[in-house]
Amino acid sequence: MRFTTGSAVPSLSFTLDGEPSERFLETCQRQTTTEIVPGGALERTRYVHQASGLIITLTARRFDASGAVDWVVELENGGQADSPLLESILPLDLTVSVPAKERLRLHHAKGSSCQMDDFLPLVTELRPGAREKLAPRGGRSSNGTLPFMNLQRDGCGMVLAIGWSGQWAVWLERTAESLRIAAGMEQTRLRLRPGEKMRTPRILLLPWDGTDPERGNNLLRRLLMEHYLPRLDGELVMPPTAQCLQAYFYLTGRASAAYEMTALPKAAQLGVEAYWIDACWYGEEGEWWEQVGSWVVNRQRFPDGLRPISDAAHDAGMKFVLWFEPERVRRGSKLHREHPEWLLSREGDPANLLFNLGLPEARAYLTNLISDAIAEHGVDIYRQDFNFDPLPYWQAADAPDRVGMTEIHHIEGFYAFWDELRQRHPRLWIDNCASGGRRIDLETCSRSLPLWPSDFPDVVGLPFGQGLHVGDQCICAGLARWVPLFGGGVWNFSPYGTRSQIIGGFTFGYHVADEDLPADDEPTVLTHKDVLARGKTLLDEDFPMEAAAAAIAEWRSIRPFFLGDFHLLLPVTVGYHDWCAWQFHRTDLDAGIALFFRRHQSPFPEMEVALRGIAPEAEYEVSQSRGYDEGPRQRLSGSALVRLSVAIPEAPGSVLLRYRRV
């Protein structure tokens, strides 16, 4: 059984001067071509309407193995006058039959909001009469809501992923007999100028069979890793372990080449793969956020520029990461002084301006500026942040008959900007950060990795003490269900603290010992600076090098399993009294890992779980490690692993379980 047949999609709807698209498309000349591509076929269907000059191209990629289909729609005005009014442009508008008695559930997730429960798994029951809408906040694609979801019905389901780094929306309406699923930009009401083109959000539908929605999630993970995620030399780009002194800058206001060159060799000694300089290297005076738009090296802090640091990183076998925030421009900055005509403003926030990537001349300038900086500073991983909401700026720039157009051209320009950087620098990685993980979608995932997917495990989470690790667990487990490869931040090199964050790569700058983390009952006026003052960086002689090296060595040993199927072994919560547990299983290796966390207020020293992907009749070699040293290996039957009791006597505490079929 399938949620819907492949012939039912792609789907598309809009109105043209009030006329439904179904009738309009029937009057168009239509031509379809098919091309064989790796894993399936690429179909292009072109509709031409002679009277209006409107040209619509629907490009769909079908994946043979999974039955998935991905498509995007382009519209062009080939006429000599403005097009008729296009409204409610929906690249997905599908109705499927669902009997009233059938149970229908939507599995989805919160997005990133700098909260302890970022990416928390959610389930919404869609009963007859239900009307649901999902959309992000403010124009960043995963701000509050993640643009990945999984519809489950009896015996089958369908994963939906959106590729649009702006203000998308999904509408679900269930009647007594059917379900309508529609997706696109939240608002479109526009006329295309003569010769003007635009595109819609990308849509991916992936059907799955069975009763377990995790099957759909893991099929999505496999599809993304095989066909979407960035590669170098044919190999997936893997999130690294990295070191960054930005939190030291937050605490002290000090940054310099001398600090970086002191920490760098120690990072290399630990086995760190990337050396990271964040928002402290540019501009003149003032806070880091006051200098965006002045992308020149601060010579008081870095008199010889950044190249000596990146050269030292390369000599030590590390990559060099450098932070930018090119779309936000502060009033009075270099970009504002030189090119105010390229900046969008809005009422209520006069100090922050939006660089308009929808202007070709502006995009060309910015591409050259950032490309030159990448070459000059020896950048291997270009880190792009985006710390404010663009939607009010786009809306303020739209005329009444151009609603959505500024956003469309900005997002098109954003993709072109990244694609050009990757073309000019073929070995470049892109780190996608937008206030920590607020721009994660199908399009950004195909070009970048989110190495910092939430700002909660930034300095924000430090006053929460052990609650920081609870948030780490929720964020990592919640996001890993949908996005295979990402990073995070480690503040504590205890096995519990580090393992809470590691489902991919990780970055560290401080170690704050367990005894220096705030207790749950400490006054809420405690700030992140109070906690940072208790910690140690690589600038300190007593930084715990041995514990950090052990943590990195363990991470390296389990890293191959991050490419496997991901299973939640317990429900994800942010309850301090709960346990948390997840598993990675490599079917090709008949092996995997599972991580178990007893949180600091949990009264339960033992938990029973069922590992997934296990053959009950087989034998497995198994070890359980409470510390970084691997525990003794023993033989266990598969039947014991599908009914496994894990004991953790201390709270908080963790166990890493490794297993391999004999």
**What tens digit of pLDDT does each residue of 397-437 get?**
999 999 999 999 999 999 999 999 999 999 999 999 999 99
Question: Backbone phi, then psi, for 150, in 5-degree steps?
Answer: -140, 115
What is the spatial distance between Cα 247 and Cα 250, in angstroms, rounded to a whole number?
A: 5
What is the spatial distance between Cα 63 and Cα 485, in angstroms, rounded to a whole number?
A: 21
Please state, in angstroms and as integers, the Cα–Cα distance from residue 475 to each residue in 224, 481, 573, 579, following that order.
20, 10, 10, 15
Which domains does the chain carry?
Answer: 6-227 (2.70.98.60), 239-455 (3.20.20.70), 562-661 (2.60.40.1180)
Mean pLDDT of the 497-524 span: 91
Whether 327 shows a pLDDT value over 80: the answer reads yes
Burial 201-227 (b: 16+ CB within 10 A, else e): bbbbbbbbeeeebbbbbbbbbbbbeeb
Whether 524 shows a pLDDT value over 70: the answer reads no
Do β-strands 619-625 and 653-661 pair in parallel, antiparallel, or remain unpaired? Answer: antiparallel
Please state, in angstroms and as integers, the Cα–Cα distance from residue 191 to each residue in 54, 79, 402, following that order.
11, 12, 6
Q: What are the CB-based long-range contacts (under 8 Å, 24+) for 336-343?
A: 336/293, 339/365
Tens digit of each residue's pLDDT (9 = 90 or more) over 153-191: 999 999 999 999 999 999 999 999 999 999 999 999 999
In this prediction, residue 286 carries a pLDDT of 80
Strand runs labelled E in 366-449: 381-384, 402-403, 429-432
Structure token pair of residue 213 = 């929605």
Q: Which residues contact 370 (CB under 8 A, 6 or more apart)?
A: 295, 324, 326, 382, 417, 421
Task: Identify the residue whose tokens are 């073929």.
Answer: 426
In this prediction, residue 623 carries a pLDDT of 98
Instruction: Using alpha carbons, select from 417, 414, 419 the residue that is nearest to residue 364.
Output: 417
Instruction: Using alpha carbons, select from 203, 201, 229 the residue that is nearest to residue 68.
Output: 203
Is residue 174 within 8 Å of residue 186, measured between CB atoms?
Answer: no
For the chain, give the mean pLDDT: 96
Beta bridge partners of 60: 43, 71
Q: Which residues contact 336 (CB under 8 A, 6 or more apart)?
A: 293, 329, 330, 343, 353
Mean pLDDT of the 623-641 span: 97
Tens digit of each residue's pLDDT (9 = 90 or more) over 243-256: 999 999 999 999 99
Is residue 602 within 8 Å of residue 466, measured between CB atoms?
Answer: no
Whether 526 shows a pLDDT value over 90: the answer reads no
What is the spatial distance between Cα 545 and Cα 243, in angstroms, rounded to a whole number?
A: 13
CA end-to-end span of the chain, whole Å? 35
Instruction: Using alpha carbons, select from 286, 359, 351, 355 the residue that is nearest to residue 324.
Output: 355
Rg (CA), the chain: 25
In this prediction, residue 459 carries a pLDDT of 85
- CB-facing half-sphere around the CA of 509: CA atoms within 13 A: 21
Tens digit of each residue's pLDDT (9 = 90 or more) over 260-284: 999 999 999 999 999 999 999 999 8
Share of the chain above pLDDT 90, in %: 95
Is residue 105 within 8 Å of residue 172, measured between CB atoms?
Answer: no
In this prediction, residue 622 carries a pLDDT of 98
In this prediction, residue 518 carries a pLDDT of 92
- Other C-beta atoms lying within 10 Å of the C-beta of residue 525: 7
Q: Write the DSSP symbol of residue 237.
A: P
Whether 1 shows a pLDDT value over 80: the answer reads no
What is the spatial distance between Cα 375 and Cα 380, in angstroms, rounded to a whole number?
A: 9
- Other C-beta atoms lying within 10 Å of the C-beta of residue 231: 10
Please state, in angstroms and as integers, the Cα–Cα distance from residue 59 to each residue in 8, 76, 127, 227, 391, following that order.
15, 14, 34, 16, 27
- Other C-beta atoms lying within 10 Å of the C-beta of residue 516: 15
pTM of the full structure: 0.97
Tens digit of each residue's pLDDT (9 = 90 or more) over 11-66: 899 999 999 999 999 999 999 999 999 999 999 999 999 999 999 999 999 999 99
Mean pLDDT of the 598-612 span: 97
Is residue 638 within 8 Å of residue 662, measured between CB atoms?
Answer: no
What is the spatial distance between Cα 327 and Cα 353, in angstroms, rounded to a whole number?
A: 8
Whether 8 shows a pLDDT value over 70: the answer reads no
Mean pLDDT of the 307-313 span: 98
What is the spatial distance between Cα 95 and Cα 172, in angstroms, rounded to a whole number?
A: 10
In this prediction, residue 523 carries a pLDDT of 63
In this prediction, residue 412 carries a pLDDT of 98
Is residue 247 within 8 Å of residue 460, measured between CB atoms?
Answer: no
In this prediction, residue 4 carries a pLDDT of 65
What is the spatial distance between Cα 655 and Cα 624, in angstroms, rounded to a whole number?
A: 6
Tens digit of each residue's pLDDT (9 = 90 or more) over 434-487: 999 999 999 999 999 999 999 998 888 999 999 999 999 999 999 999 999 999
Structure token pair of residue 311 = 């050269």
